[in-house]
Amino acid sequence: MKNLIILFAFLSLIPITISAQWFWQNPLPQGNPLNSVKYISSVVGWTCGFQGTILKTTNGGNTWISQTSGTQEALSDVTFTDANNGWIVGGQGTILRTTNGGIDWIQQSSGTQFSLHSVCFISTTNGWVVGNQGIILRTIDGGTNWSQQSSGATLTSVYFTDADNGWAVGLSGIILRTTNGGINWTEQTSGTSNILTSVCFTDVNTGTAVGEWGTILRTSNGGITWTEQTSGTTNSLLSVCFTSENVGTAVGGVWNEGTILRTTNGGTIWNNVSGGITYRLRGISFADPPNGIAVGDDGRILTTINGGATWTLKSSGTTNDLKSVYFLDVSNGLVCGADGIMLRTENGGTDWIEQASSTTEDLNSVSFPDIYNAIAVGYNGTIIKTTNGGSTWAQQSSGTPNHLWGVSFTDINKGTAVGNYGTILRTTNGGINWSQQSSGTSESLFNVFFTDADHGTVVGNNGTILRTTNGGANWNLQSSGTTYQLWGVFFNDENTGTVVSDGGTILRTSNGGITWTEQTSGTNQFFYNVFFTDINNGWIVGGFGSGIILRTTNGGVTWTEQTSGTSNEFYSVFFTDTNTGWVVGVNGTILRTTNGGASFVEEKQTDEIPDQFLLSNNYPNPFNPSTTIKYSVPQTSQVQIKVFDVLGNEIETLVNEEKPTGTYEVTWYAENLPSGIYFYQLKAGSFVETKKMLLLK
């Protein structure tokens, strides 16, 4: 059950999915908040959440596979009646239905644009949904048709014990009861004005409702009377599940503290078994007790095998905010962030290893001039350096207590760091010594970029842009034409550069900053960082309460928003070529793309039922710039299709998801790659096949 989202030719070709090409690397399996979970056996379950996230497990929550929802709406609640039939509800009246275990999710017509918060089915035909403005929807045909009712108050959770008896709870302590399948609803006296977020019944008489301020209500007479129980917490409780009349678990919390309460005597006593969890939990479900799953903020997933007495974290990776990413090549990269977090990868981000950074200060920027040497800067004048690829980090003396926000090195010796109150520091010996330079301003400076040892640009508060052509001996103020805070700067050469800022502002120069021209971004979001691989191809990242990635292929004349698959804000972006890049941001977010972040439409040939795995020759071949790859799967399988160059380097992932029986086509676009031989490989279960193709420009 679930709560309010913190209340707050011979074959017909049918396009079936538009896939974003940004993939999660941290946290895993993903980092969007999860709102609800449904566990139908000791091994099979689903969870859903923000940005249309749907995940499925077939091994008790140890690993999770992403399913395609076809929406970016926040998904509030998920329910299944068996291993095949399920429903999910969410924002803007979203109702999704599957009849094949989530391989395909089909949008149903709800007849409303109100957010829907909870769904309950007692069979494959009979179900109810509740949401904002007191909306109640009922179906008797599996959701093909929904009839609409209204109670007048926003409802957050609905639960039915059979086709007749059901309850709904919501704002201001409202509790509604029906005894005729929802034809009529009668308000019950809850005794509280607190928001109620979840309700659960074990039979027609015995039920529990939970809500804000640690509210727990219990009834033993179908809700004629409700008695408040002592929870021992003032944290909001967002979901409750009872596996018997006496044994139940409630979860919730606040943004930096999770709460798990458990009772074995019907709620007379609730014990806190949270164990120092630092993230809010939003959903809980049990199947074949004592097996259970709880989900929550930052994509966190917990499992229990003892009825909820103890819990094990199944998701992995840091959730510290990540501020900066820098790659030396397609394999070797560094990421730094809050509380001194430093991560290193040697395989393109498949694995991120935390390093001992020697500081707990927030690290805001990292520069990685060669495989051994790297410098990071942060709060309170912090500068740390490694000379062994990150195995150890040592603190350097910056000579300033000011926060440092940006650092740029042109080789292992020459670097510049910038920070608050116009601070500019310069080193020519790899940071052994840092000397203060005169910036001519007291404005905070947020980023610095050098194209060579002499030419550099600094940006900061109140539209500040400073430029040097002599390695920082002199800094000259340039006119930006804006008073916004400028956060990101990138130069392709000493003349061509881009600056980004608050309010969706993009500035471009082609004469070293003598003049800056504003470009149209199409949004008023905050922009924090910008990166170009050449004079035409660039990316901007940012957001404020939601993540945003923009792409240009014409030097910023036009910018197109890409689908990232998360609402987390992004602070930094880095590309090693026009296809391969990473973005990092809030809650430990690390995303990778192998095709420049573009989305593609995959098509399924519905009239063909294959009897074997097959990878066909691409067509056309040779090709320029696109080619189509056709493949078949005779049974539901986890499918990967990847493209490699002649050296075996992975160029792009075209498919990485569970596919039902069928024959498919996917188009690969290689407009940004050089002519040459490439290989494409199909992996499905134990089946592996690789074929060759030729890009000829």
Higher per-residue pLDDT: 104 or 338: 338
Integer Cα distance of 675 and 692 in angstroms: 13
Q: Give the pLDDT of residue 654.
A: 86
pLDDT tens-place string over residues 243-258? 999 999 999 999 899 9
More confident residue, 596 or 13: 596
Asked if the 608-695 domain carries CATH number 1.20.1530.20, the reply is no
Query: Residue 660: its pLDDT value, please?
Result: 82
Q: SS3 for 462?
A: helix
State the chain's mean pLDDT as an integer: 93
Domain-wise residue ranges, the chain: 33-313, 608-695
Closest to 683 in 3D by CA, of 658, 662, 646, 648: 658
* Integer Cα distance of 76 and 5 in angstroms: 6
| pLDDT value for 15 | 38
Q: How far is Cα 177 from Cα 183, in angstroms, rounded to an integer?
A: 11
* Residue 579 pLDDT grade (very low, low, confident, very high; cuts 50, 70, 90): confident
CB distance 187 to 175 below 8 Å: yes
User: 503: helix, coil or strand?
Assistant: helix
Residue 465, beta-bridge partner list = 459, 478
Q: Which of 140, 135, 96, 141 is nearest to 116 (CA)?
A: 135
pLDDT tens string 538-559: 999 999 878 899 999 999 999 9
Neighbours of 114 (CB within 10 A): 18
Please state the CATH superfamily assignment of the domain spanning residues 33-313 in this structure: YVTN repeat-like/Quinoprotein amine dehydrogenase (2.130.10.10)
- Residue among 433, 406, 437 nearest 419 (CA): 406
Other beta carbons less than 10 A from residue 679's beta carbon:
15
User: Does the pLDDT at position 317 exceed 90?
Assistant: yes
Q: Output the pLDDT for position 10.
A: 24
Shared fold status for 33-313 and 608-695: no
> Above 90 in pLDDT, residue 432?
yes
Give the count of beta carbons closer than 10 Å to the beta carbon of residue 479: 11
Going edge to edge, which strands form the sheet with 86-90? 75-80, 86-90, 95-98, 106-108
Beta carbons of 508 and 498 less than 8 angstroms apart: yes
Mean pLDDT (whole number) for 412-428: 97
3-state secondary structure 547-600: EEEEEECCCCCCCEEECCCCCCCEEEEEECCCCCEEEEEHHHCEEEECCCCCCE
Which tens digit of pLDDT belongs to each residue from 349-383? 999 999 999 999 999 999 999 999 999 999 999 99
From CA 255, how far away is CA 395, in angstroms rounded? Answer: 32
Kindly write down the DSSP assignment for every residue of 202-250, as one continuous string. Answer: SSSS-EEEEEGGG-EEEESSTTSS-EEE--S--S-EEEEEESSSS-EEE
- 616: DSSP letter: P
* Residue 152, pLDDT score: 79
Q: What is the pLDDT of residues 434-469, one digit of tens each?
A: 999 999 999 999 999 999 999 999 999 999 999 999
pLDDT at 651: 81
Locus of tokens 């009825």: 307
Q: Return the number of other C-beta atoms located less than 10 Å from residue 538's C-beta.
A: 26
pLDDT category at 57 given cuts 50, 70, 90 is very high
- Burial state string for 419-454 with b = 16 or more CB within 10 A and e = fewer than 16: bbebbbbbbeebbeebeebebebebbbbbbbbbeee
Nearest to 111, CA basis, from 141, 149, 73, 148: 148
